Structure 1
Amino acid sequence: MLGGMSVRVVSYNVHSLRDDLGALAGVVRGLAPDVLIVQEAPRRWRWRTKCADLAASFGMVMAAGGMPSLGNVIMTNLRVRVLEQWCMRYPLTPGRHMRGACFARLEVPGRGPFVVVGSHLSTDDAERPAQAALLKPALALDDPVIVGLDLNETPDGSSWGLLTDRLADAAALADREDRYTFPTPNPNRRIDAILLDPRLELGRYQVVTSDAADRASDHYPLVVDIV
């Protein structure tokens, strides 16, 4: 546990900022995350400035990711201290998008460190399990781990099985596996997840739906409170 202190983590695929950016900023600010894991953040020309501007629109700051992790980004509020950050890339399959993951070792003042991880797996059924197999050993860390990701498959897929071998699906812990995440505004699949280290205690899990969320992205954001 994080010393009994609640920490709010949000995971959100922002659809490469193709939608209503005002609605997106409003959704995130309304959720008031301590840590935000973003998929499909800026990753190309002027990505540092674009990611910093996106974080500022949420009232947050950049912690890790961007181009080095192929559009996976971790942002924090000023309550959270960033101790370390790093990235990894999955091998490029010719004709496919290169993908990766970002990592940040974080600390809430006076509490032990924890690691937050963000990733976005392939849409290709043949490529995706190999990416999950590479990510899995990278999650075997000394500190408790929280993973937010777009798996691009439903929970019966092999990548879910690989990654939940030692990490718990927050939706299953909360008995909310019936809440779909994609596509807005009429979702019919749960392809996004927050996975939790067994050393952490889940206080709340929610898939956030609203009119603003319908305009903000093609995915709904996931919220967990770790207590």
Structure 2
Amino acid sequence: MSKGYGVGQVQSPGNGDSSVRLRVLSYNVHGQRDDVDALAEAVRGMDPDVVIVQEAPRRFRWRHKCAALADRLGLVVAAGGLPALGNLLLTSLRVRVYHTWCQQYPLTPGRHLRGAVFAECGIGSARFALAGSHLSTDPTERPGQAALLKEALAALRLPVVVGADLNENSGGGAWRTVADGLTDAAAVVAGGASRFTYPCLEPRDRIDALFVDPRISVLDYDVVDTEQTRRASDHFPIRADLLLPA
């Protein structure tokens, strides 16, 4: 199926025919506590290669629930769930997954456990890494979690795509830690960095982010605000079309 990549909105990177296009969503699905039919319709309509999910199933029968979510969205589970504390990577059959692992951040008593999920993937001649995380709402916890996530990202050798709910606006300390050395996909497209992602009913914050390795070109970026996405979750999904180096 053709994805209709919106290359006209940014300068063409000129990487040649050997580069590979990838459509990525980063989406906090709010524990599927909203309209799951609208969620499925919205995601299927965007036809992603990868969905980096926050607030995915992480408790009783989490494997079955993650598989059911993937099936509803027309994708397959690559990694995550309980071992990543609700972070989940879903892919289309176009994406080959070679290696996956999960990370759990130290628990602060009385707070929610948080973590991250990682995968090494490929499409044709292009190899890349995926990462997803959901940082704490507690401003005393976030910096340490961001530092642990950044340490894991720094160890990667493949070009990486990172989707995260950082629970703070751009410019915050945890945001700057994760973003260091990476490209904020929103900043590439005119007006992208001013598009709020949360909450859907009265958007006022950009706490959801998609960062990419400098070796990856951002062709298009959008915060998808539609009737469906307003019913599907309390966060808007981020969609980006990327060009991977071969």
- What TM-score bracket applies, with the shorter chain setting the length? over 0.9
Which structure 2 residues correspond to residues 91-170 of structure 1 after superposition, within 5 A? 91-108=106-123, 110-140=124-154, 141-170=156-185
Residue type of the partner of 1:170? A
Whether the aligned pair in 1 keeps the contact of 2:198 and 2:235 (CA below 8 Å) is: yes
Q: How far has the Cα of 1:3 moved from its partner?
A: 3.9
Report the CA distance between 1:111 and its aligned residue. 1.6
Counterpart position of 1:72: 87
Residues 129-170 of structure 1, C-alpha deviation per residue, up to 9 Å, x if partnerless? Answer: 100011101102110000000000000210111111111111
Matched, 1:212 2:236: no
Q: Which runs of structure 1 show a deviation greater than 4 angstroms over 4 or more consecutive aligned residues?
A: none
Give percent identity, aligned residues only. 55
Query: 2:212 is matched with which residue?
Result: 196
Match of 1:4 among 16, 19, 22: 19
Aligned length: 226
Q: Does 1:187 align with 2:203?
A: yes
Q: Which amino acid is the alignment partner of residue 147 of structure 2?
A: A
Amino acid at match of 2:161: I
Could you tell me how far 1:193 is from its partner in structure 2?
0.2
TM-score norm. by structure 2 comes to 0.90
| Whole-angstrom distance in 1 between the partners of 2:178 and 2:187 | 14
Where 1:92 maps in the other structure, the secondary structure is coil
Cα distance in structure 2, aligned partners of 1:200 and 1:134: 23
The amino acid of 2:114's aligned partner reads: R
In 1, Cα distance between the equivalents of 2:18 and 2:180?
A: 25
Letter of the structure 2 residue corresponding to residue 207 of structure 1: V
Q: What secondary structure is seen at the aligned counterpart in 2 of 1:198?
A: coil
How far apart are residue 185 of structure 1 and its match?
A: 2.3
Q: Unaligned 5+ residue runs, structure 2?
A: 1-14
RMSD after superposition: 1.1
Give the aligned partner of residue 226 of structure 1: 242
